[in-house]
Structure 1
Amino acid sequence: MVEIFLRTLPFFAIIGLGYWAGRIRFFSEEATAYLTKFVFYFALSAMIFRFAANLQLAEIFNGRLVLGYLCGTVVVYCIATIVGFARKLDVPTAAIEAQCAVIGNVGFLGLPMFVMLFGEASIGPMMLILATDLIVFSSLIVILINGGRDGRLSLSILRTIALGLVRNPMIVSIVLGLTWSGLALPIPEPMNDFLSILGGAATPGALFAIGASLASKSAERVEVALWLTFCKLILHPIFVGIGVLILFPLDTYSAIIVVSAAAMPVAGNVYMLAQHYGIAPHRVSAAILFSTAISILTLPVIMSWMSGG
């Protein structure tokens, strides 16, 4: 476990550096927003496209992985929702809390980290997890929030979901990359170099941006934030582990990747949703802050447990 902790420590050290830069205002919130946009729309997209363009769809798609991951994730989603309803929350607020409980920082933190820790063979499972999160749960949260507010579902919600997916650069990069691969088009050397250089900025840029964004997060509603952190860092990997080890058994390597991905801290895009809809942004902010800090210790434990198993 110590070895895994030491291997993950540099990633969290860069997050810490970004946090320090944000706290002393060397890196302003505006600068952080622009760095995040650069990573999200350019660097990370270049990295994902390059990876996907060198994979075959058959190498990525694994029905057992999707089912195992979904089963575990849905259980934790329901637990968080039931607890929310028991606290007399309305549907939109309970949905936001459930989103915190299951949506991890797979794109910004997980994908770059796992490629360096587990090799490029981790790309396929990670892309599948990322696509499942974006397609299934990003759609579900929009349905629950709008349906909970309006008391009904309308066709405009489907339009909102479709536009959200089409405009998401991660989804676009995966689709374009797999299309390029499916057409068996070679990547010219200058294009490959361009994607490698630009994609190389994704890892340090994403980690620094995560840290800098955490500097502006507040720690309000601590009890709720700690509960959501427990759901994300402990319950989620445990139930996903049941899904991919017992219900829909995967090979050891894929199971390690999937369960470790489930142990990622709460994703920043949940806060963006909460802020956009004006639903509990402070508790989401605190959940991101706590889960990221605590995952420095819990993530190596989960990885070590899975690798040892």
Structure 2
Amino acid sequence: MQTALLLLPDFALIALGAWLRRVFHLGDHFWTGLEKLVYFILFPALLFNAITRQTVSLSSAAPLALSGALIMGSGILLGLLARWLFTLPPVQFASLFQCAYRFNSYIALAVAAKINGGAGIAAMGLICGVTVPIANASAVWMLARHGKLGIWRELARNPLILSTVVALIWSSLGLGVAEPLRAFLTRLSDASIALGLMSVGAALRLRGGLSPQARPAAAYLMTVKLLLLPVVALLSNTLLHLSGVDADTTLIFATLPVASSAYILAQRMNGDGAAVAWVISVTTILAMVTIPLWLALAR
């Protein structure tokens, strides 16, 4: 109950975003622009600001990175099982497959910050830096048979990866951040969480989008994402002897709903974007219950 109350303001921001889109009719152009602002400017500033405040060593980062990779790999393997468990058109399967493991980084960083402050953001940034390339490469490979979108160029330009790598190098070299720059980054960081969560709420789409044929597969993939991967995280924490902030971060990572970027990729590559949008919306709503439950159970 205490964990749920702690996260309530963040989930309220998601609900506010959904309400604002429907009541104020700001349109797709406004929300698309807001998401670009958060993704390319505000969240990279948040990651750089948090990571450069921490002392990061390879020996301490390796188990955390490995745990994130194990969780991601488990999601990919369990997602592949849907091909044999359910009868779906190839394009629809390729579109929905990514819903087993792609994660919403906005919610990831918001919850990590709420639970463990700057240390939580730094730890989550490290996991994102390791797993975002895996998630993107796997999704594009499935949708395009080894990709036709220049996957390596897209990964090299990913702002979350770039900001994490630059911040880790900056921190490892012991470089400081001048106070005016630190204040500037802090202002951007403060804006990132609220605007990121509101953009998540604005993207919710529950009407239509999922055919009766796809419902069993969607239910299975949502079970993988919200129920099975957290179990993998708990086992990984035990296996790798993770505790404290690192254990919290891997569990938060495993409980996250599907990323909105899964819908964007499906649309860009002529997949079933409507079905993916429905799964994203449902997992986001369900995660408001499951994330606090998993965190409470682990404590």
**TM-score of the superposed pair, with normalisation by structure 1:** 0.87
Structure 2: any 5+ residue segments left out of the alignment? none
SS of the aligned residue for 2:221 comes to helix
Which residue of 1 is the match for residue 121 of structure 2? 123
The answer (yes or no) to whether the contact 2:116–2:245 under 8 Å persists in 1 is no
Counterpart-to-counterpart distance in 1, 2:76 and 2:64? 18
Which residue of 1 is the match for residue 33 of structure 2? 34
Q: CA offsets per residue over residues 129-150 of structure 1, 9 Å max, x none?
A: 2112212121222233322xxx
Which residue of 2 is the match for residue 139 of structure 1? 137
Q: CA offsets per residue over residues 252-280 of structure 1, 9 Å max, x none?
A: 44222211221011111111111111212
Task: Give the partner amino acid of 1:138.
Answer: N
- 1:214 aligned residue (204, 213, 222): 204
- 2:194 aligned residue (198, 201, 204): 204
How much has 1:59 moved relative to structure 2? 6.5
Counterpart-to-counterpart distance in 2, 1:90 and 1:81? 14
Which residue of 1 is the match for residue 250 of structure 2? 258
The answer (yes or no) to whether the contact 2:91–2:272 under 8 Å persists in 1 is no
The answer (yes or no) to whether the contact 1:84–1:94 under 8 Å persists in 2 is yes
The answer (yes or no) to whether the contact 1:91–1:144 under 8 Å persists in 2 is no
Equivalent residue runs for 1:1-309 within 5 Å: 2-58=1-57, 62-89=61-88, 93-105=92-104, 107-147=105-145, 160-215=150-205, 218-221=208-211, 223=215, 224-245=217-238, 247-307=239-299
Task: Give the partner amino acid of 1:109.
Answer: I
Task: Give the partner amino acid of 2:123.
Answer: P
SS of the aligned residue for 1:249 comes to coil
Counterpart-to-counterpart distance in 1, 2:237 and 2:88? 32
Counterpart-to-counterpart distance in 1, 2:67 and 2:181? 37
SS of the aligned residue for 1:62 comes to helix
The answer (yes or no) to whether the contact 1:110–1:264 under 8 Å persists in 2 is yes
Same amino acid, percent of matched pairs: 26
Structure 1: any 5+ residue segments left out of the alignment? 148-152
The answer (yes or no) to whether the contact 1:233–1:291 under 8 Å persists in 2 is yes
Counterpart-to-counterpart distance in 2, 1:209 and 1:174? 22
With over 3 angstroms needed to count, the CA separation of the structure-2 counterparts of 1:92 and 1:179, relative to structure 1, is: farther
**TM-score of the superposed pair, with normalisation by structure 2:** 0.90
With over 3 angstroms needed to count, the CA separation of the structure-2 counterparts of 1:102 and 1:172, relative to structure 1, is: same
The answer (yes or no) to whether the contact 2:96–2:218 under 8 Å persists in 1 is no
The answer (yes or no) to whether the contact 2:67–2:236 under 8 Å persists in 1 is yes
Counterpart-to-counterpart distance in 1, 2:84 and 2:39? 34
RMSD value over aligned CA atoms? 2.3
Number of aligned positions between the proteins: 296
How much has 1:94 moved relative to structure 2? 3.3
Task: Name which of structure 1's ranges 56-65 and 39-48 shifts more when overlaid on structure 2.
Answer: 56-65
The answer (yes or no) to whether the contact 2:229–2:254 under 8 Å persists in 1 is yes
